Amino acid sequence: MIKDQDYLKKIADICLSKSKKLGSTDASILVQSSVSENINVRNKKLDGSERSENLGVVLTTYLGKKKSSIASSNLKESNLNELVDRCIETMKITPEDEYNSLPDKDLHFSGLKDLDLYDETHLSNEDKINYIKEAEDEAFSNNKIVNTNGSGFGENKSNFLLANSNGFSDGYKTSQFTAYCEVVSKSNGSMERDYEYTSKRFYNDILKPKELGSIAADHAVKKLNPKKIKSEKISLIFDKRISKNFLSIFASAISSSAIAKGTTFLKDKLNQKVFNTEININDRGDIKKANGSRYFDSEGIGIINLDLIKNGILQDYLIDTYNGKKINRKSNGRASGTTNLYFENGSKTFSELIKSEKKLLYIKETIGHGTNIINGDYSVGASGIMIENGEFSYPVSEITIAGNLNNIFQNITLADDLEFNYSTNSPTMHVEGMIVGGK
Amino acid sequence: MTSLLKNSELSIEKADKIVSETLNSCDDGELYVEDTKSETIVLDDNKIKSSNYTSDLGYGFRAVTGDTVAYSHSNEISEKSLKNSSDNLKSTLKNNSGTYNSEIKKTNQKLYKDIDPIESKSMKSKIELLNNMNEYARSKDSSVKQVTASLLAEKKNIEIIRSGGELLSDNRPLVRINMSVMVEKNGRKETGVYGIGGRQDYDEYLKNDNWKKVCDEAFRIANTNIESKPSPAGEMKVVLGPGWPAILIHEAVGHGLEGDFNRKKTSAFHDLVGKKVASKGVTIIDDGTIDNRRGSLNIDDEGTPTERTVLIEDGILKNFMQDRLNARLMNTKSTGNGRRESYKHVVMPRMRNTIMLGGTNTQEEMIKSVDKGIFAVSFGGGQVDITSGKFVFNCTEAYEIINGKVGAPIKGATLIGDGPSSLKEILMVGNDMMLDPGIGTCGKAGQGVPVGVGQPSLLINNMTVGGTQL
């Protein structure tokens, strides 16, 4: 069972009062408890079960502008006392940093907690196994699916308390239900794997097992017997599971830490046109039941909604207290990053998008870590499907796609098929003129 | 022997009893107890940005029967908690029963000292070192605009309690020193990253002002990249430098030779033992027994002593890397590759130090033989799709080769290839085998473990280079 707020509060109080006693001027603490249960099935047979109970505490103490942190999973009082001692000792000899401080009291979250982030539904292991077996059964009903890499179902419940010496003390429970199915297809000596994944706060919102299995199978079969194409400049269509990655890249490029250090290609671009005028990007933390929703960030600052890009123009950064001070801005509650980040729908339908040019390459998977936030260079491995005259024609693999994000962002056209499946979501995306490396 | 349980509410006798009683009717399993202390100090943007100390204690209780694994972990170390875990394991395995395999090899292997690298250097001197690194790197050139330096030290003590009361333990120190430099010139920004580390005290790595070399190297890479031109795109010959570029070996073949993927027949290599999978002259080993290396372990996380495992010998596939579960199901022995990130994670076959042995060619010969290609000296991250065999990685330092000569540096090149076929495309194996500087972390199924790599210079035919220049 996850621990209740009273238990978490007791731990927080021990640490906060001990830090104060030892001379810290300020302190903040996070106490967490979570329980997760996962079931793995492979080839329709139980492969494994995993149950984890996690406890943890993270304490940060301040002495004026000096700061130090400790973290521990051992919440015995004797251990906590020892660690607070250590934290204080380290803090005293750490150099001052003028930007260190607790967050602005005025920005502390205070309000209703009505976002529905916790589903107390508990599935027995039997139910979990049945769900995931049904998904695999469905995948195997496709005769080109010969094997699975494993499929799984997970249920996670957690509770936390965040408190600081300025009087903030709040926390809440969240839940997450996750299922994935990863299958292997085979035909004419070609072997490919692909997957489908669903994760929601409420059990009733996740994909039904049959859908999960059939989508995974369909993905894996469509990859069979790929061709390698010649190097060329070609427009790409990014499947929704890939197009959302550009939002994550965008988010890291406008984090106040990167902006303050100058280590991003979007430095000094505030109020400038970063995308074309049809693009709007929002970050909303207040969508009911959504994966990315939260009441406050890891500093206790209330989440406000941000229109990050309006008609292509960069409106805001993602700001926390420390880095905000460096750039003379108040925190906008993004110390834990974005919440529900998404592109607004474009004006074209999916079918209009794939018919917009005679020849397009549809990207379904990228591999590698080829994004350079500092200068915007982008180069990753990829696989996908060639589209000729608006029809999907043959799978393509072992290619690379490359460009610079400054150009890529200006050349995006979006479809109107946005769905809120993850915390970061994008419609299908068309990017004009990227370089494909192949034969 | 004093146990990690000594200060807990759980006595070793009680733990033994629950473990034996739970695992008696299983094929395998153990109670794994871990006590990890770690410290990270980061200097960023001219300031000590953070000093974090983490103390993590917990257990992972595993029961295995047939090919089903039941796992339960917690950081509440008590009889009640362990009993709950035991009930959970039993409920998963209720329909199966097995015969406990109590056989496990013994070792006196001592590949690193039982030291605490966090305590053996004072906080004051660590902060001083970071400040020195920052000042030194910034003093190298006025184009240096940003410096991030960090020190990471860890002491991980593990204990494995098997059914019948057998207790195996290992105390593992680990340190890492990292440097990242950003250079800005003519409106361009590039970074260079370098690091060193292993299983010794900081001071072993700081001898002879070695930290200056770390800064020099990070600066050199950033400064090289500032002059770089767009990378070509297309298939061409690639010369890999020695040492760290062996992450190509790690991605392209290493993962595909891990026992689990082959037992499950999802690896492109699963039916190729005894067959020729690489060019003649190519020998690849996975060695857990090199003194003080980042990927070395006295025993793996199941208690099996590590060894030097020959994977490919003169082009022929010899062995897979095994943990106990996959070895049993494939009728072979564990090679000591059973590893886990922590007590929160299940054991899987993982690499240790994966090395291609040296050959007879010189790097000069290789470069001379290339009309148009690239010379890749260092890489960032890599990734592989085990099933299709496709792998990719990103060059952080590379040059074009034109008419047998190394030319201008190129930026942002990605290399992509097919594991099984690129091994056969190796044209020359260098005589300059080198191990990496001790910085690798391998990710698999969400678990990161420290690893090492090594290789001589290599000439590979027909690799696809991803760039922006057609």
Cβ(B378)–Cβ(B396) below 8 Å: yes
Please report residues of A whose CB lies closer than 8 A to that of B80.
none
CA distance B315 to B31: 40
Please report residues of A whose CB lies closer than 8 A to that of B382.
368
Cα–Cα–Cα angle for B264, B265, B268, rounded to 5 degrees? 135
pLDDT at position A114, please? Answer: 95
Domains and CATH numbers, chain A: 5-34+50-102 (3.30.2290.10), 125-222 (3.30.2290.10), 226-439 (no CATH)
The answer to whether B356 faces chain A, any CB pair under 8 Å, is: no
Nearest to B71 by CA among B16, B104, B28: B28
The answer to whether B40 faces chain A, any CB pair under 8 Å, is: no
> What is the DSSP secondary-structure string of B135-200?
HHHHHT-TTEEEEEEEEEEEEEEEEEE-TTS-EEEEEEEEEEEEEEEEEEETTEEEEEEEEEEESS
Cβ(A16)–Cβ(A78) below 8 Å: no
pLDDT at position B94, please? Answer: 84
What are A394's two structure tokens?
């043959």
From the number of C-beta atoms within 10 Å of its C-beta (0-12, 13-18, 19+), residue B128 rates as exposed
**What ipTM describes this predicted complex?**
0.89
Instruction: Inspect the interface and report whether the beta carbons of B233 and A70 lie closer than 8 Å.
Output: no
Distance from CA of B296 to the nearest CA of A (A): 26
Please report residues of B whose CB lies closer than 8 A to that of A72.
54-57
Distance from CA of B252 to the nearest CA of A (A): 13
Instruction: Report how far Cα B7 is from the mean position of its chain's Cα atoms.
Output: 32
Domains and CATH numbers, chain B: 123-227 (3.30.2290.10), 234-466 (no CATH)
Cβ(B251)–Cβ(B169) below 8 Å: no
Say which of B265, B412, B418 has its CB closest to residue A379: B412
Between chain A and chain B, the number of residue pairs with CB atoms below 8 A apart is 246
Residues with Cβ within 8 Å of residue A343, at least 6 apart in sequence = A243, A247, A279, A280, A281, A414, A418, A425, A426, A427, A429
Q: Which residue of A has its CA nearest to B469?
A: A435
Low-confidence residues of chain B: pLDDT under 50: none
Please report residues of B whose CB lies closer than 8 A to that of A70.
52-55
pLDDT at position B371, please? Answer: 96
From the number of C-beta atoms within 10 Å of its C-beta (0-12, 13-18, 19+), residue A39 rates as buried
Instruction: Inspect the interface and report whether the beta carbons of B55 and A72 lie closer than 8 Å.
Output: yes
| Gyration radius of chain B's alpha carbons | 24
What are B261's two structure tokens?
């993927």
Q: Which residue of A has its CA nearest to B384?
A: A367
pLDDT at position B420, please? Answer: 85
Instruction: Inspect the interface and report whether the beta carbons of A400 and B414 lie closer than 8 Å.
Output: yes
Instruction: Inspect the interface and report whether the beta carbons of A191 and B387 lie closer than 8 Å.
Output: yes
Low-confidence residues of chain A: pLDDT under 70: none
Please report residues of B whose CB lies closer than 8 A to that of A49.
69-71, 88, 92
pLDDT at position B2, please? Answer: 60
Residues 451-470 on B with a CB inside 8 Å of A are 464-470
Please report residues of B whose CB lies closer than 8 A to that of A380.
392, 414, 466
CA distance B170 to B305: 10
pLDDT at position B237, please? Answer: 96
Q: Which residue of A has its CA nearest to B125?
A: A93
Instruction: Inspect the interface and report whether the beta carbons of A50 and B413 lie closer than 8 Å.
Output: no
Instruction: Inspect the interface and report whether the beta carbons of B383 and A367 lie closer than 8 Å.
Output: yes
Place of tokens 């709007």: A280
What are B442's two structure tokens?
């391998």
What are A47's two structure tokens?
């492969």
Say which of A46, A261, A403 has its CB closest to residue B146: A261
Please name every residue paired with B192 in a beta bridge, in sequence order, or none if there are none. Answer: B181
Nearest to A49 by CA among A137, A129, A121, A127: A129
Q: Which residue of A has its CA nearest to B386?
A: A193
Q: pTM to 2 decimals?
A: 0.93
Cβ(A146)–Cβ(A184) below 8 Å: yes
Please report residues of B whose CB lies closer than 8 A to that of A258.
none
Q: Which of B87, B193, B231, B390 to mutate to test the interface with A (most CBs of A within 10 A)?
A: B390
Please report residues of A whose CB lies closer than 8 A to that of B464.
228, 398-400, 437-439
Residues with Cβ within 8 Å of residue B310, at least 6 apart in sequence = B283, B284, B285, B318, B319
Distance from CA of A97 to the nearest CA of B (A): 7
Say which of A86, A125, A383 has its CB closest to residue B53: A86
Please report residues of A whose CB lies closer than 8 A to that of B384.
367
